[in-house]
Amino acid sequence: MKRGAAAIVLLAAVVALPSLRNGFVYDDVLLIVENPLLHTLSRSAEIWQTSYWPTGGLYRPLTVQLFAIEWAVGSGRPIVFHAMSMLLSAVVAVLVFRLAARILPPNRTDLPGRLAPATAAAFFAVHPVHVEVVANAVGQSELLTALWALLAVERYVAWRAAGELTLMRRLGLAGLTLLGIMCKETGYVIPLLLAAAELTVAGPKRGSRLGSAFALQGAVVAAALLWRLTELGTLAGDQPITVLRDLGIGARAVAMLAIVPEWARLLLWPARLQAEYGPPGLPVDPTPGPAHLAGLALLGLAGVVAWRVRRRQPVLTFGVLWVLIGLAPVSNVLAATGIVLAERTLYLPSIGVVLALGSMISAARPRLAGAPALARKAVLGAGLGLFTAALLTSLERQEVWRSQERFFGQLVRDAPRSYRAQFVASRFYYGQRRWAEAEAAAREALALYPLDPQVHEQLGQVLRVQDRCEEATAVLERGLQLNPGGTTIRSRLIECALAVGDSGRARAVAEEAVRLGQTEFRATLERLAR
């Protein structure tokens, strides 16, 4: 067991090692480099009273507190953050190994009885979809939540097998759930993972105070929500992405069926990766079509398989349930989030995938032992080939996150049909004062998807700073029609109207704002009246 764990640690470290040369990239800049709360430990109390994003939404104080400690230890050097991510990724991989070893049946054909768990953990350690989590600093929220979830489930299964869940054990599980929630919102699903374990792999029922254990889990969830409400004044999460903002729960559920095949591809065959996903390259449409039918078929197949093998291969059923539970918070069904799909959100669900893989390996071993030597060699060769391909893909992908320049250049090459990729690239070029590139990317984003007011605002601002307000005015007006409540885009439209001498238009835009309840524009009207 110790040698197997050491090998998994080494493998995870090898995969993450290139990330030590990475700088702060993409969301790292806003959430770490430009967040003054992290730059001194004296403001730690404020971290626990502040939302994760500066603009509001989400609550991950434990993750942010860890960022502050890392900043203090390394005086803001990115290598400290990446070293911590490397350490956390190794710990999570070992916990995957420990959980798999605990729930998979021992097999006498295995050398130490650990081949299936070790294989599952090894594939987890090299899975290419994990690179985004390990290669940038803010991915630590995913790593931490997975760590607490794995530890909770592994301890739950172990304690259930040992006998009664004592009060200290129940409190320990509740504490792990709370830690997961404080690191990322996906921590709220930990009680569901425990319930899935109870239904599948927890062993014989022994009347071990399960009711009080799960009641305590519910109390922790309720307490965490109350804590969040007290500190932030709201239970709302991130700002919904534009394509989902106006869809009801039913329409979102149908629309997200079309995303299921992409989830499956990334979890099972992640040969192509990109940091932004969305329309038109990844359509989000509540009107049923072939992609929706494929998604429904995949979900149905997973459900049928999980049900059929629930007695013979309970770990496989548990793996499928883990995937579905892990995807629930980011499925955009219960609540719309700020993304359609992101590779980082597949980190927790991928644990279920490798647990199911371990179950299939464990079941196949006796049959392969009696198969012809050529067949065994073919299976082994295929497995080694897949493993090597995953390892090399992960190592190569780490390079994408080396710097801002490399990341955004690769982003638009990886996702040319994602308007979000072009949009965020435009914002990067704008910050670099590279006006031509910022304008080109913004125009491409607008051509790909003209319904997001943020894109109009971005293009209008790029034109405005180049003293091209006549062009910017029309762009900003279209954006304001899409989002009449946008105060920033309205302010920029007023500034551009004044710049071209159209005070009548500026006054009309300000008057409309006041009618909508945006009282801050009364001062603008007063200035225009002078």
Task: Give per-residue pLDDT as tens, 343-372.
Answer: 999 999 999 999 999 999 998 887 777 788
Give the pLDDT score at 520: 87
Same domain, 431 and 293: no
List residues bridging with 280 in a β-sheet. Answer: 418
In a domain, 406, yes or no: no
Indicate the SS3 state at residue 375: helix
Give the pLDDT score at 111: 43
Specify the residue for token string 């078929």. 297
Query: CA-CA distance, 482 to 486, in Å (whole number)?
Result: 9
Residue 369 · residue 325 · CB < 8 Å: no
Q: State which amino acid sits at residue 527.
A: R
pLDDT along the chain (530 residues), means of 10: 88 96 96 95 95 87 98 97 98 97 70 77 97 97 98 96 89 98 97 97 73 95 95 85 92 96 96 94 94 97 96 96 97 92 97 96 82 85 94 96 96 96 97 97 97 96 95 95 93 93 90 90 84
Same domain, 442 and 344: no
Query: CA-CA distance, 389 to 391, in Å (whole number)?
Result: 5
Same domain, 387 and 447: no
In a domain, 412, yes or no: no
Give the pLDDT score at 30: 94
Same domain, 85 and 122: yes
Closest CA to 19 of 274, 398, 397: 398
Same domain, 140 and 262: yes
Query: CA-CA distance, 440 to 455, in Å (whole number)?
Result: 12
Specify the residue for token string 């429904």. 296
In a domain, 504, yes or no: yes
Residues spanned by the domain of 362: 2-399
Closest CA to 330 of 436, 244, 389: 244
Same domain, 261 and 209: yes
Query: CA-CA distance, 242 to 234, in Å (whole number)?
Result: 21
Local structure of residue 111 (DSSP, 8 states): S
**Interior CA angle at 370 toward 364 and 114, to 5°?**
45
Specify the residue for token string 């709302």. 236
Give the pLDDT score at 206: 59
Which of 344, 368, 399 lies at the terminal end of a domain, its last residue? Answer: 399
Q: Is the peptide bond before 78 cis (omega within 30 degrees of 0)?
A: no
Give the pLDDT score at 109: 41
CATH of the domain at 475: 1.25.40.10
In a domain, 410, yes or no: no
Same domain, 121 and 237: yes
Which of 348, 371, 399 lies at the terminal end of a domain, its last residue? Answer: 399
For 280, phi and psi rounded to 5 degrees? -85, -10
Query: CA-CA distance, 459 to 35, in Å (whole number)?
Result: 26
CA distances from 71 to 53, 79, 82 (A): 18, 10, 11
In a domain, 29, yes or no: yes
Same domain, 293 and 429: no
Give the pLDDT score at 376: 81
In a domain, 178, yes or no: yes
Same domain, 153 and 251: yes
Which of 399, 431, 461 lies at the terminal end of a domain, its last residue? Answer: 399
Closest CA to 75 of 33, 45, 137, 42: 33
In a domain, 409, yes or no: no
Same domain, 514 and 467: yes
**Number of domains the chain contains:** 2
Give the pLDDT score at 491: 94
In a domain, 404, yes or no: no
Same domain, 162 and 210: yes
Same domain, 275 and 319: yes
